[in-house]
Amino acid sequence: MLHPKQAEIERRMREMFNEIDDRIEDKYGSMFTLHPNRPSRGKTNSREMDGLFNIGAAFTAGYGSRYGRGYIVDIRISTLDHVPGEIREEIYNSVADLVREKLEIFFPERELEIVREGNLLKIIGDFSLGSVSS
């Protein structure tokens, strides 16, 4: 069971990534052939389950990371086609730009930023849930 404030962060994170997924699908969705086992965009009730992209984030405690805890941005491209490194990098940069833009909209009360750590994108900053009053 999640703390109510944590559940709200997760809800807003999903909503934010749904918008980002739509924008990335619009921009890059026709560049590659969709995996044969994957429904086309809009054929399911979940952006995670259809279309070329599945973009979201999962919390990490950040052990071994110089940035500590945060949300790892997961970008999955559902294709059997070869995705050239420069196109993959362009997609990652587009996602990072959109996350940067959307964080201010979806989390205006928090100081959050997106960073690159190796091959990963990570959202870091204030994920505090408040304090317990006595």
pTM over the 0.85 mark: yes
Q: Is 11 within a domain?
A: yes
Reported as a single tens digit per residue, the pLDDT across 103-126 is: 999 999 999 999 999 889 999 999
Q: Is 131 within a domain?
A: no
Q: Is 20 within a domain?
A: yes
The pLDDT score that the predictor gives to residue 134 is 47
53-61: which pairs have CB atoms within 8 A and are 24 or more residues apart? 53/21, 53/24, 53/25, 53/28, 53/29, 53/77, 53/78, 54/21, 54/78, 55/17, 55/20, 55/21, 55/24, 55/95, 56/13, 56/14, 56/17, 56/21, 57/13, 57/17, 57/123, 60/122
**Among residues of the chain, what percentage have pLDDT more than 70?**
97
Q: Is 121 within a domain?
A: yes
Q: How many domains does the chain have?
A: 1
Q: Is 23 within a domain?
A: yes
Is the pLDDT at 13 greater than 90? The verdict is yes
Q: Within the chain, where are the H helices? A: 4-28, 85-106
Give the distance, in angstroms, between the CA of residue 10 and the centroid of all CA atoms in the same chain.
11
Domain boundaries, position 10? 4-125
Q: Is 44 within a domain?
A: yes
Q: Is 69 within a domain?
A: yes
Is the pLDDT at 3 greater than 90? The verdict is no
